[in-house]
Every structure is written in structure tokens, then in C-alpha cells.
Structure 1
Amino acid sequence: MITGTLKSQVDAVWNAFWSGGISNPVEVIEQITYLLFLKRLDELELVKEQKAAATGRPVQDPIFPVGRDEFRREYRDLRWNRFKGFSKDELFEVFTESVFPFLKDRVTRLSDGTASSYTALMQDARFTIPEAHLLQKAVDLLDAIPMKDRDTNGDLYEYMLGKLATSGTNGQFRTPRHIIKLMVDMRAPQPMEAICDPAAGTAGFLMEAGEYLREHNPDLFFEPEQRVFFNSEQFHAFDTDRTMMRIGAMNLMQHGIDNPVLERRDSLAEVNSADVDRYDLILANPPFAGSLDKENTSKALLKLADTKKTELLFMALFLRLLKPGGRAAVIVPDGVLFGSTKAHKSLRHELVENQQLEAVISLPSGVFKPYAGVSTAILFFTRTDSGGTEDVWFYDVKADGFSLDDKRNPVDTNDLPTVLERWEALRGADAEAAGAERARARTEASFVVPKSEIEANGYDLSINRYKEIEYEEVQHRDPLEIIAELEELEKEIATGLAELKGMLK
């Protein structure tokens, strides 16, 4: 967690950009991201230099080479600790001519000089800070923020990404962090599992999965195979928006994931055959854009869901991307649970009959406010291609720790810890705890529904179809007794009025 002081420092940088004429929140974050990365490169180089000084050996794989660039500018002038002391005009000149081109080249190369997954994403990156004084102010403000600690670094970046939601127009790019954390905790990613988000946005799901792996696997980086896999092969992200992919890439980098697999692509267009049956875990909150042009949609997906509805097509995509035995936790609009079209019904039939549908968690409609009030649910399923659904666990979340209005202020009521606790009890080794969870009544927040009942209801997965409402018996007073009391009151009023009238004569 970042402190109030650090938040105010970030707010000051943010406000400087807005007052300087950059009002698009995505552009603000993108430009700040470049500055933060330059600062990080300098800090990494300093660590290399300190190590070299201690061992008496040359700096290994220096980030900033000896020599000059095409503008005859020494590469050492491109380091944060050097250019932060320049005058505003010299700073702006060196930045536009040398620093930003160097950044575009450096961020796209690994330590051995080979291209990284960032190469394509940085091709059209632009430096858009318009004035020298704004650049100098941003550098001065960011210089005061400590960024050496990975956790602080990541939390600061997450705080900035949180401003996408509060900005209104760009809130659709970001799923609330606490919802992401719940989904990751429930799915418990493991080392050597390939994880994918086909609608990545700011890559929040992949970032949180990385944090989970670090926390629950202390020896993760002591095993060379796991370490290499974590940094280069474990995390896969797709999105159509290159700017958002750059921001997501920097988010992963700030959280210590060096070279994730990032691709700018339309996930619903022709699916890359190399990605079919490839992933162990999918975590996603795909866009609910309503409908799209079938002509540009993968024919393989249309075979699973012959529809224009993006939410259904993404569900079909998840089933193709997962390898047999692969798991998923994905957010869907409520319509997926009870929609009456042929595509809706066939997709639910596929999940229940041919795969293993494990859980349906109903979220309150205010979770995505202020920019959307749609009711949603989280589906947990495993691809088996041979069935396996015996029963489905439902949970009716009423509160997520924040008010359900546009302000989304913190509140005391929060069901999410209980969701995780009951899920772990249901799936844990303690047979007694699992049995107790399965035995819960339909009037409680969570309960289990057998597959046969879901089948009998036409594969309807809405929680209200199965939840029972317990009505309390209320004892009402005898109406004649209430009428008698009203008559007495009427007499008292009449007497009072008569007395008042007599006083006025």
C-alpha cells in the first residue's frame, strides 16, 4: 500500500500534465510510464555499476553504452541522474532528440541484444509532452518519488491506473483490483502454468497472477527453469489497442515481469492456431460491446457460438485457448446466464454437459460504477471435453467492501473474504468442511445445485432461479384495536380544538 504522501506526489504529477494541456488520462499515464521507465533504467544501471565496483570487474551488459548517439550526445547524458539537472530547454532538446529514441530502442531489446515482446508495441510510441517547463516539472516531481522497491513501484503504477476508472470515459479498461485479486486467489495459479488474458487492457489479471506466484512460491526464482518461464513464457496478453498494450506492458514490467508475451490482435478474429489448446489458465474480463461484424469473426468460434454477441464469442474463445484440463475464471454479463437465444443456450449446455462448470458468483450491479451499472457474474470452469459437472457452487455477493453508488467509497461490509473462505472449504482436503459447505440451505449466500436440476431448468445459471427467499412471519395487530386507538386520538384532537376555540373568544 502506498502512503498518503506518495499519493499526493503522484497526484501532483498527474495534475501538472492536466494543467499542461494533456487531458486524456490514457495519454497522461503513457507519458508518465515512459518517464518512470527511464528512471528505472538508470537505477538498474547504478546497481550494475556498484556490483562491478565491488568485484573489480567491468559492468556486465551496460544499459547505457560508452560513446555518443547520432546527435553527438553522450549516452551518459541520457541517464536520469544526468538529465534531471539540465535546464528546461536543454532537457527538452535532449529528450526529443535522444532520450525518447533511446528508450524506444532499449525497451524493445533484452540484455543479450535480441528483440523483446515490446518491439512491435513501441513502433508507434510518441513523446507528446508539449512544453519544456512541463517536462521539467514532471521530472522534478517524479524524482522525489522512491521507486527502487518493486512493491512500491508496482503500487504506484496501480494507483495511477486506478485513475482510469475515476476519469469516467476510460474506466472500461480496468477491472477493480479487489475483484481481480479474488479471482486469482480462487484460481491459485501455479509455477510453470501458461496464463492468458485475451482482452488484457492494463494487464491487471496477469499482474495479480504474478504477485500471487511470488507470494505463494518463495523458491520460485531459485529454480532456473521456473525463473526463465516466469519472465518470458508464463504471461500472455492480447488486446486490440496498442496504447493500452503499452501501458499493460509497463504495468507488468513495473511489477517485475521482464518479458511477457504481448500481442496486439483482435482475439475474436481468426484465432492463431498456435494458441489453440495452449493455456493452463485464463483470467479475463472481456468487453461486452453488444455485437460485431460476423465477417471478421473466427469461423471456428462461430461453430461454438453462432452469434454476434461478443460475450458469447469470448466464452467460445476461452474454450479453444485452454488446453484440456485448463482452468478459467472470467467475468460475464448476467445475460450469459439466462439468455434465451440458441447461442446462449448452446453455450451453457456446452459448459455444463461437455466441460466442468464449477461455480457461478453473482456480483452486485454497482461493482463497475461509475462508468457501468451492468449486472455481472464470475464463471469458474475447467475444459475437459468429456463433461465432469456434477454440481455447481453458487454465491450471491451483496457487498464488495465499497459503496455501490457512483462514488464507490470504502464501507465495512464485504463478502469477498467469505467467498474465498467457502470456496477453499468446498475444494479442500477437509471432508467435514467440504460437506458442511455442500449442505448449506438455498436461503444462504452460497449453496450447491446438482447438475440434474440445472439441466431440468434449461441450463439457466441465474442465481435467482435456485435461491430460496426465506420470509419471516410478521404478527400484525387486530385491525379493530388499531381503529379504536385512532378513534381515541380523534377525540383528543377534538377536545383540544374545542379548548383552543374557547380561549380565543
Structure 2
Amino acid sequence: MALGTFIKGLQNIMRKDSGVDGDAQRLSQIAWMLFLKVYDSREEAWEFLDPAYKSIIPEPCRWRNWAVDKKDGKAMTGDDLLFFVNTVLFPTLKKIEITEKTPMKKAIVKLVMEDMSNYMKDGTLLRQVVNEIDSVDFGDYKEQHAFNEIYEALLKSLQSAGNAGEFYTPRAVTDFIIQMVSPRLGEKVADFACGTGGFLVSSIKALEPQVKTVGDREKLQSSIYGCEWKALPHLLCVTNLLLHGLDEPNILHGDSLSKNVREYGDEDKFDVIVMNPPYGGSTASSVLGNFPADMQTAETADLFMVLILYRLKEMGRVGVVLSDGFMFGTEGAEYTIKEKLFAECNVHTIIRLPHSVFAPYTSITTNLLFFDKTGPTKETWFYRLDMPEGYKNFSKTKPMKLEHFAPAVSWWDAREEIIDTEGFPKAKCYPIEELKAGKYNLDMCGFPHEVQEILEPMELLANYHAKKAEADERITKILSEIVSVLEKR
């Protein structure tokens, strides 16, 4: 299967359709069809294991019964296909009745399809797209795992579509964080802003080798939890987890910040929390009321840090990606949140990532924060991960890879202080007293200088748009804080 051109081929077909406006709609169109195709593939496996299995999807609406072209001249196309999709398929799937007793692997159909739409207006072009997607055999082991490449192509297209400043975490970063927090079978792993499921897939890969029995498999099935409030990433996440063997993806479609954090009980807490909180967002004043008054802020990343503190089990572990805004802030809510963090948790490691890890989608410098709930912080190690040899910048064609974390992995257990050739600290341990004295400004092992590089015109343009988006986010944050203050008067 020529995966490199698969997504582009589908997009090119849809560009001929007057009903699909832009890459975001094209990707949404591809996503719901991929989901139904993948779900049908999983149902074949469930039927094989349990002959009594009955699909929650009515027979005429199952992928195998309307989408598959058997080349006998009976497959729907043109106006007939368009009529079926618009007036039968979507209304039926959106009206599926589910209850609290409905297994998640069945309820997920309604949950992911209720916010999807068919944008195509040309039934003949729709048939072409359906046939292309149906040509992928997700029941085949090799092609099932090849979905990773299709998935990556979808993510790159989604990023290029500029969806509201969303940036997806590179696989190398998710794999490294999971390697360091080391989830164990039987533990509950959560990502409260899971996007398309990168951290959760990395978790599954880490837990899979620990599965030895049927009971172990059941533990894995109930170990993963996610929440995503945007429809398209939620659908992609569910599809991705289904393909990675999670038959009942517990991925909620909603806002993790919508509940009062003080209402969470022990049953709502997790052993491992891994995430890349969205930053720069504008939070509604109604949501702010879910947080203690001295921790209320319009910055969504800060609120997610508070949420983590309230939903982490005793002895639990966290690995989180944070921008410099949280790390360096020394006033207001950011100071209060960090004061609580260091008092209640052991913040043992902070890794400063090299620039351009998320390039060209954003140039904001990011950090990895690792802590556990084993007691208050006594000391924190800071480690600066330098750009790998031969690299001046990461880019689309030269992304960060897991092997680039090798120096950090080697240092992790040794915990030795390192001074670089220019006399700057590359790795250093700071006692909590020193961090408190600095009001928790965590810029302790920063880069001594920035490396300049002449980029290709398209990358320069992408960087310009990324920096413009950052400026817009800062302005939005400031305006949100002003509005919040005015509303409280």
C-alpha cells in the first residue's frame, strides 16, 4: 500500500467536490469513514471470538453492507449513495440508543459519530473515496500496523490545516515520557487533553509486553483513560486505540475542566498522568469557578496543572509538557500553583527541550516536568537536552526522534551535575530552599545562546505564522484576564 500518497489521493478526490471546503473538512470526512471501516474490521474479530456477538449498528448501516463494492454492479453510487449516507446512515448512527449498561465498545459508535457530518455533495466522488478507504485491509496484521503511517499523514495534514493553533506532540516526546514514568500493568493511566491519543498509544505499547494472561489483557483494557473536547481529534483517538487492540476505548468527548476540582474523589484519581496541556487558550469565566480562587487564570495549561494535582493518586507519577510561560512565571496564579505543586509533590526532574521540537507549527520553547506524589519536594534536578549533533533545527523533514533523548536516558539514573564547555550548567540539582527563594522561577538550565539558520522560504513562512499565532494567543490571554477581572466587579 502506497501510504505516502494515500491521504493526498483522498484529498485530491474531495477537492473536486463543491461541498467540501478546505483541509479541515476533508480530514473530518476521511476520519469518519476510516472509523467505520476500522470498527467493522474490529467487529469481524469480535464475531470470530464470540459467535453470539451482535453489532449495535443496524445491518444496513454496517460498513460491510453499504460501503464494500463487490464489483457486481450492485454497490450504491451517485445520488443513491449520497441519499443513503445523508438520510439513513448518519441519522441512524446518531440516534443509536445507549444506556449506562451499554458496553463502551458499542456505545463508542454513537459517541464518535454524533458530531460528525458528511460534507460531500457528489455521490460519484464519494464512492471513489469509500472504495479507496475500503481497499485497506485493517484485519491484516501488516496493514493494521501500517495505519500508524496513515495516522501520521492525517496529523501532518491536520497541523497544516491550522486548526485553532493545535499542535500535536511528536511521538518521540510521548515515548520518552512514558519510558520515564514507566506505567505498570494494573495502574490507571490518564491524559485529560488527549488529542488524537499519542500519549495513550505510547502507554499501550509500554504495557503490552507485560500482558501474559487473559486476566492481564483485561487489566490493559481498563487501564487507559482519555478526554478530548474537539470532535475530530476525539474520533481519531478512538480509531487509533481500536487499531492498537483497545476494544473499549474509555475516551470521553468533553471538557476536562468543566467539573469542580474539589468534587473529585479517590475513584476519580489515577496512578499515572501524562499529557501536553493546551496553552494560550481562553477559558470561560464559568469554568474558572471550578478552581480555587487563588489559582484561577485564563491560561488553560495552568488550569490543567491544577487538575492534575487534584486527580493524582498517592504515590502516583506524572510526566507533562509545559511551555516557558508556566515554568518562569513568578506572580499570581502561576506562583500559587507551583507553590502547591512543590509542597504536595516531589518534583524530581525538569528537562528543557531544545528549540524547534514542535517546528514548524510553533517555536515556543518547551520543557518536560516529572513529579510524583510521594511527599514534598526536597530537591529538583534540571537537565538541558541539547540539539543533536548535525542538527541546527528540527523540521518536518528532520523531526525529533526517540534516539535524540539517549543522552537524557543515560543521565537519568546517574544524576550527575554537568557543566558545558561554555561554563553553563547542563545538569544541576537545586535544593527546594533555593527554588523557593527564586519564587519558583524554573529557568535553571537554559540554553546559553540561540543558533541562527537560514531556512527555506516555506519554513520561514510557517515560522512567521507560528510566531503570529503565539502573539495572538498572548493578546487573547491578556484580554481574557481583563474580562475576568471586570466580570468579578
Q: Cα deviations across residues 276-333 of structure 1 (Å, max 9, x unaligned)?
A: 6511111111111255344431444445x24333222221111001111111111111
* Cα 1:84–1:187 shift into 2, 3 Å: farther
Conserved 8 A contact 1:197-1:284 = yes
Structure 2 CA distance for aligned equivalents of residues 390 and 84 of structure 1: 72
Give the structure 1 partner of residue 36 of structure 2: 38
Give the structure 2 partner of residue 133 of structure 1: 124
Give the structure 2 partner of residue 479 of structure 1: none
* Residue 381 (structure 2) pairs with residue 371 (structure 1): no
Secondary structure at the residue paired with 2:313?
strand
1:119 positional shift? 3.5
Structure 2 CA distance for aligned equivalents of residues 107 and 170 of structure 1: 33
State which of 13, 16, 30 in structure 1 corresponds to 2:13.
16
Conserved 8 A contact 1:402-1:409 = no
Structure 2 CA distance for aligned equivalents of residues 135 and 299 of structure 1: 45
* Cα 1:310–1:93 shift into 2, 3 Å: closer
1:138 positional shift? 0.8
1:123 positional shift? 2.5
Give the structure 1 partner of residue 133 of structure 2: 142
State which of 243, 255, 267 in structure 1 corresponds to 2:256.
267
Give the structure 2 partner of residue 476 of structure 1: none
Give the structure 2 partner of residue 438 of structure 1: 416
Conserved 8 A contact 2:187-2:272 = yes
Could you tell me which amino acid in structure 2 is paired with residue 160 of structure 1?
L
1:33 positional shift? 2.5
Conserved 8 A contact 1:168-1:370 = no
**What TM-score does the superposition give when structure 2 sets the normalisation length?**
0.77
Conserved 8 A contact 1:363-1:376 = yes
Give the structure 2 partner of residue 287 of structure 1: 278
1:213 positional shift? 1.5
Structure 2 CA distance for aligned equivalents of residues 180 and 332 of structure 1: 13
Could you tell me which amino acid in structure 2 is paired with residue 192 of structure 1?
G
Structure 2 CA distance for aligned equivalents of residues 361 and 165 of structure 1: 25
1:212 positional shift? 2.0
1:116 positional shift? 2.5
Secondary structure at the residue paired with 1:458?
coil
Structure 2 CA distance for aligned equivalents of residues 176 and 402 of structure 1: 20
Tell me which structure has the larger Cα radius of gyration. 1
Structure 1 CA distance for aligned equivalents of residues 292 and 389 of structure 2: 37
Q: Cα deviations across residues 425-471 of structure 1 (Å, max 9, x unaligned)?
A: x1xxxxxxx3xx32444746433333343334332211347x899xx
**What TM-score does the superposition give when structure 1 sets the normalisation length?**
0.74
* Cα 1:356–1:418 shift into 2, 3 Å: same
Give the structure 2 partner of residue 457 of structure 1: 438
Structure 1 CA distance for aligned equivalents of residues 400 and 334 of structure 2: 37
1:180 positional shift? 1.6
Conserved 8 A contact 1:398-1:415 = no
State which of 204, 208, 214 in structure 2 corresponds to 1:210.
204
Q: Cα deviations across residues 345-375 of structure 1 (Å, max 9, x unaligned)?
A: 2322223333100111112332222232212
* Residue 247 (structure 2) pairs with residue 258 (structure 1): yes
Secondary structure at the residue paired with 2:113?
coil
Q: 5 Å matches for 1:47-126?
A: 51=48, 59-63=51-55, 77-78=65-66, 80=68, 82=70, 86=75, 88-89=77-78, 90-101=80-91, 104=94, 116-117=107-108, 119-126=110-117
1:234 positional shift? 1.9
* Cα 1:339–1:439 shift into 2, 3 Å: closer
Conserved 8 A contact 1:270-1:298 = no
Structure 1 CA distance for aligned equivalents of residues 23 and 102 of structure 2: 32
* Cα 1:170–1:299 shift into 2, 3 Å: closer
* Cα 1:374–1:445 shift into 2, 3 Å: same
Structure 1 CA distance for aligned equivalents of residues 117 and 390 of structure 2: 37
* Residue 320 (structure 2) pairs with residue 330 (structure 1): yes
Deviating more after overlay: 74-83 vs 335-344: 74-83
Q: Cα deviations across residues 70-108 of structure 1 (Å, max 9, x unaligned)?
A: xxx999633635599625224434433444455557897
Give the structure 2 partner of residue 484 of structure 1: none
Could you tell me which amino acid in structure 1 is paired with residue 223 of structure 2?
Q
Deviating more after overlay: 187-196 vs 437-446: 437-446
Structure 2 CA distance for aligned equivalents of residues 444 and 84 of structure 1: 70
1:193 positional shift? 1.4
* Cα 1:390–1:168 shift into 2, 3 Å: same
Give the structure 2 partner of residue 472 of structure 1: none
Unaligned stretches of 5+ residues in structure 2? 450-489
Q: 5 Å matches for 1:365-404?
A: 365-384=355-374, 386-387=375-376, 389-399=377-387
Could you tell me which amino acid in structure 2 is paired with residue 9 of structure 1?
F
Q: Cα deviations across residues 126-158 of structure 1 (Å, max 9, x unaligned)?
A: 222221122111122223334222322344223
Q: Cα deviations across residues 179-238 of structure 1 (Å, max 9, x unaligned)?
A: 222212221222111111111222221122112212x3242xx232x323432x322222
Conserved 8 A contact 1:238-1:262 = yes
Secondary structure at the residue paired with 2:29?
helix
Could you tell me which amino acid in structure 1 is paired with residue 224 of structure 2?
F
Give the structure 2 partner of residue 182 of structure 1: 176
Could you tell me which amino acid in structure 1 is paired with residue 184 of structure 2?
Q
Give the structure 2 partner of residue 345 of structure 1: 335
Q: 5 Å matches for 1:146-225?
A: 146-148=137-139, 149=141, 150-169=144-163, 172-214=166-208, 216-219=209-212, 222-224=213-215
Deviating more after overlay: 40-49 vs 247-256: 40-49
Q: Cα deviations across residues 382-410 of structure 1 (Å, max 9, x unaligned)?
A: 124x41x2322222123279967684321
Secondary structure at the residue paired with 1:463?
coil
Could you tell me which amino acid in structure 2 is paired with residue 391 of structure 1?
E
* Cα 1:116–1:42 shift into 2, 3 Å: closer
Could you tell me which amino acid in structure 2 is paired with residue 156 of structure 1?
I
Could you tell me which amino acid in structure 2 is paired with residue 438 of structure 1?
E
Count residues with an aligned counterpart.
Answer: 436
The CA RMSD over aligned residues, in Å, is 3.7
* Cα 1:74–1:270 shift into 2, 3 Å: closer
Higher RCO structure (Cα 8 Å, ≥6 apart): 2
Conserved 8 A contact 2:13-2:125 = yes
* Residue 231 (structure 2) pairs with residue 242 (structure 1): yes
Conserved 8 A contact 1:401-1:415 = no
Deviating more after overlay: 278-287 vs 233-242: 233-242
Structure 2 CA distance for aligned equivalents of residues 135 and 275 of structure 1: 48
Structure 2 CA distance for aligned equivalents of residues 376 and 286 of structure 1: 12
Secondary structure at the residue paired with 2:35?
helix
Secondary structure at the residue paired with 1:172?
coil
Structure 1 CA distance for aligned equivalents of residues 72 and 82 of structure 2: 11
Deviating more after overlay: 248-257 vs 312-321: 248-257
Conserved 8 A contact 2:347-2:370 = yes
* Cα 1:321–1:120 shift into 2, 3 Å: same
Structure 2 CA distance for aligned equivalents of residues 370 and 440 of structure 1: 30
